[in-house]
A and B are shown apart, each in its own frame.
Chain A
């Protein structure tokens, strides 16, 4: 598994934690920027069929270490993932 990758021009980095990492078999990868936040789950679903329902819908999502709302009531916001951004997909981990 690649541990971390630096986004080149026109790209952003996406980090996968816990079950998102298991599902994609990756810790991170580089995707094309800009990408409207509202298209993020769709884009990932195309690459990893089934990931939306099985993983993404219960995840916390951050852009540059800040919480963003992808599916909730305020999801209407027009956030665009920009070149060089770091997006994190953080599923709940409940074991301990």
Chain B
């Protein structure tokens, strides 16, 4: 076994070294070809004037390989070469987030021949990303996402210039990163970054293609297009115009907590690429003169995708910029200086989930301690959603999902004994609440105590600190982590 795994390791290293050499050769070739083509691209304007070679040594604005590579899209009537391919080649696109949205978006943006592509991501590849983040592969687990993405994109199309920004977008670095590009794709995963990216796009007059997805649903919206200065009502609305108030932090669900179907987020990322290509090819990176004069505002819409619905696509019409918008109206409170100095705290604006420490230490138990008292009479209440409970649960636990405690559909019956409490359970037997990570369990513990289930302190109710993740770390290393 050992010698087999050693020779497998040696082969893997050999393959990696050979691939690296091949990539280097491809990069060199691309550079040679690019410098050849660059001469004919000089002076090409984004709004698409006639292209004239600067000298007679070559007649064509694209390389031979590029005619073949982009031929199938260049012969689409709405694309063409002058307005289409050459504009793509001379444009630059920033993709913020190399995850479920950013991966498919980047693949099509690179495939289409956008000249410069930046990828921003501070994360590293994890196994749980691979079902949807199609630029990363099993062998890339642990690698920087921005670098993993670019190594894929280079092998797909070596022609564009790729720039890796291996950090998260922040108020401090946002201007420096975004100002180098013509167009931005928001492929991030949290409210704070969505408001930040929208604000910086407004300040720097960049059109923004924003998408999001959760479970089996997605949203797509083109913002700040046309990208007119704050106060110009003919400009496209920004994220704050559509969603002026961030959702309460505790209601924000991530893909890690709520789940995501790979092709659903894939569809949304692919649609972002479509919108980006449309903006570039239609010459809308900068506003056209008649819009600048305020003659017409372009209607904006939001596309909603619900994979399970009999009508999976719905488009809703939005209005133009919101009067009084904090970012893009004439009353804008934004400035690049304010952004740099940190006077806008996006994390604070979006709120912090308050569940971090709801309970006192006396109301919590370590997973290892709980393992020791499993023999005693008690109730273990697992408050994960049923789909998670079905994947794995501790013997003897009962499942009442967190959502069932969240008001809404089921009103609280304060003071009454809940129907899920086994009648056989002695009145003073303790109740242990567990969830995946130890946040929801605290909230539920608090609610149970407030409803009087602890009989004024006679019954101990508390949670398992760190949830089932801690159980895996402290008690059972074979516990499935999903």
Contacts and interface: CB of A to CB of B under 8 A. Distances in A.
Genuine A/B complex: yes
Interface of A: 3-4, 17-19, 22-25, 27, 48-51, 53-55, 57-58, 60, 62, 65-67, 72-74, 88, 90-96
Contacts of B212: 92-96
Given A48-B408, A60-B242, A60-B302, A94 B311 contact: no
B323 interface: yes
B54 interface: no
A48 B251 contact: no
Interface string B394-430: 0000000001001111010000000000000000000
A55 B269 CA distance: 26
Interface stretch (B173-181, B200-208, B254-262, B358-366): B254-262
Interface in B238-282: 242-248, 251-255, 258, 260, 265, 268-269
13 contacts: A18-B214, A24-B408, A53-B248, A54-B248, A58-B246, A60-B318, A65-B316, A67-B317, A90-B304, A91-B247, A92-B194, A94-B194, A96-B269
B411 A49 contact: yes
A55 B315 CA distance: 21
B310 A25 contact: no
Given A57-B245, A65-B317, A74-B323, A96 B408 contact: no
Given A51-B408, A62-B316, A92-B246, A18 B217 contact: yes
Given A54-B251, A92-B246, A96-B187, A23 B406 contact: yes
Contact of A23 (B316, B408, B411): B408
B97 interface: yes
B451 to A, nearest CB: 15
Nearest to A53: B248
A25 B409 contact: yes
Interface string B423-444: 0000000000000000000000
Interface in B188-247: 188-191, 194, 211-214, 217-219, 242-247
Interface of B: 97, 99-102, 187-191, 194, 211-214, 217-219, 242-248, 251-255, 258, 260, 265, 268-269, 302, 304, 306, 308-311, 314-319, 322-324, 403, 406-409, 411
A95 B403 CA distance: 19
B323 to A, nearest CB: 6
A96 B251 contact: no
Nearest to B252: A94
B324 A73 contact: yes
A82 B306 CA distance: 25
A83 B104 CA distance: 42
Contacts of A65: 314-317
B221 to A, nearest CB: 10
Given A54-B248, A58-B247, A66-B317, A94 B189 contact: yes
A96 B318 contact: no
A59 to B, nearest CB: 8
Contacts of A53: 248
A23 B317 CA distance: 25
Nearest to A71: B245
A49 B191 CA distance: 25
Contact of A49 (B100, B217, B308, B408): B408
Given A4-B309, A53-B248, A58-B248, 5 more contacts: A3-B309, A65-B314, A94-B212, A95-B260, A96-B211
B316 A66 contact: yes
B461 to A, nearest CB: 23
Contact of B217 (A72, A92, A93): A93
